[in-house]
Amino acid sequence: MGKKTLVTVVAAAALVVALAIIAASSLRPRATGQGPAPGGDPAAEREATAERLFAQAQLAMDRADWTAVIAILDRLWVECGSTRFLEANRATVSRMLAQAKSKLAVAVRPPIPPPKKPPPAPDPEPNLAEALREWPVAFEDKLASRECLKRGWLFKGQYGGHFEVKGALRVSGMHTISAVWWRQPVGDDFLLSVDVCPEDNATPLIWLCGPGYGTSPGTGYLLRVSVLEKQFRFDRHGQAWGPPHVPGPRWGEWYHIDVLRHRRVLALHINGQQVGRWHDPAPLRGPANAFIGFGSHLGFSGKRGAWFRQMTIRMPEEEAQRLKKAPVERILDPPLTVLPRPNGERLAHDGFGQGVISRWSAARREWGIHETKEGLVLRGPNAWPRPWRVEAFTAPFALDLPMSYFPNGEAVNFSVRLRHGDALDKGRERYRGWTLSFPAGDGLVALDWHDEEGKAHRSAQNAYFAPVPGRQYVLRLELARERLRVFSNGALILAGRSPRPIADGEPVYLGFRQIYGGSRVRHVTVHRIDP
């Protein structure tokens, strides 16, 4: 081949390549995406668009963006419905569209609500006649001899309670409450029948589902037969309920009272007639609510009180059998829920019986304060012994003291006092600081904060876990800043807070008080604790 021929062949090949490049570029879309380039093939452009939209739909599938998948595939059907690419991949595109619509429907579908439970059946109406006919007698006492007192636990109120039996049981409690708790436990269903007579200004009290000890009106369901208030009234933790339009009791008259507890309902019958029913949405149950007690309020010892006779307790047979197999015991101590703070440096230890009374200053010392080998004895009734420790402490500190009430006396009105101030004014009864009543005359274990004027403000109270006569309690008071915590035998029973924190270095004086009755403090130990 000659030189001219070779040049001609190369030129022809270059021309062919150039024409191929021009033809290919005419088939590509414009940069703006407005359609085929001038002189391009619309069919080829639709094929390219179909491939591009399909690829975008696959990317949206990978992102689980089902709304975008549906929008892209709908555009693919509209713009590229007659393309060879779509005909070849019709089944795949249809499957992708169906899957996207299904996923999107699940994502936006509201949750299916759980099937509605049928409303609980209402508690059956207590039927007195049915209970009297079908429930056997679990406990019965005519209350006509002193032997009945051996079947109960006796708790005297402030100033000394009084119990006597003269054909019927009479309970008097002076200005506060005395009570006898019967040892027979009751279950969730029971019927109590008893005759009651208020004497003069005394108010008979009947505890239902109570703890079996103490005189607190805040435990269980408390039925008051009140002449002064002219009503029969149930109390539960400060909530009162009384049957409307029922004539109030009168002094000197006997009333036959039936109280029927069935599940959540209490029905009160007076002289055989139902006068009211009370539905309790959170009924009292368990060992802390398993006893019945009788008591009196505002009856003077030896003169006035509340009379009780002909007591009967009925329960369903299965309930009585359950109690026999697993006897219910009184819960005298609260559960251990919070640990006391660890003790640090010991600040003081007063072991009474070793001449440490000299560290204490007492108003009317000769009237009811005695240091014995068994501890510091505080005794009424003609005095309010209130010793104060001369040396002050500074918070934070923990105070530990074992104490007990006299075995044969009342168990109320012992208090621990923490007086805040620069100097101890032993003759001034009003002070700023804390008072722990263990318990107060109303039977409530309580914490009160006294303001600058000495007015008391209730900070915390506990209706349960009141002390029992003769039983020793190790009280622990932890004072840190504005908070005071009280423990009994290692268990937290109260936690209070003052309106303002205690200033660093502010002196705090320790004192006791016993109103009537008698108590004994073994020793006092004070430790530093972390704030």
pLDDT tens string 427-478: 566 788 999 999 988 889 999 999 888 889 999 999 888 899 999 999 999 9
Identify whether residues 314 and 432 lie together within a single domain.
no
Beta-carbon-side half-sphere exposure of residue 499 (alpha carbons within 13 Å): 10
- Is residue 340 in some structural domain? no
Q: What parts of the chain have a pLDDT lower than 70?
A: 1-40, 106-112, 120-125, 158-160, 174-175, 237-239, 244-245, 299-303, 362-367, 381-383, 425-429
On whether the CB atoms of residues 399 and 484 are closer than 8 A, the answer is no
Sign of the four-CA dihedral 148, 153, 157, 160 = positive
What is the reported pLDDT for 382?
A: 60
Supply the pLDDT for residue 162: 85
Q: Would 115 be classed as within a structural domain?
A: no
Q: Is residue 122 part of a domain?
A: no
Residues 183, 315 within the same domain: yes
CA 337 from centroid of its chain's CA atoms: 13
Beta partners for residue 198, in sequence order: 306
- Domains held by the chain: number: 3
- Is residue 4 a part of any domain in this protein? no
Residues 318 and 377 in one domain: no
* pTM of the full structure: 0.72
What pLDDT score does 37 carry? 47
**Alpha-carbon torsion angle 370, 376, 379, 383, nearest 10:** 70
As given in the structure block, the two tokens for residue 18 are 């150039």
Q: Do 98 and 137 lie in a common domain?
A: no
Q: What is the CATH number of the domain that holds 402?
A: 2.60.120.560
Q: What is the pLDDT of residue 2?
A: 56
Rounded Cα–Cα distance for residues 112 and 89 (Å): 37
pLDDT for residue 27: 37
> 85 and 134: one domain?
no
501 and 363 within one domain: yes
Say what the pLDDT of residue 5 is: 58
* Sign for the pseudo-dihedral over CA of 353, 357, 358, 364: negative
pLDDT value for 330: 86
Are residues 90 and 132 both part of a single domain?
Answer: no
Q: What is the mean pLDDT of the chain?
A: 84
Specify the pLDDT at position 16.
Answer: 52
Same domain, 243 and 165: yes
Q: Which residue range forms the structural domain that includes residue 172?
A: 128-325
Residue 204 counted as domain residue:
yes
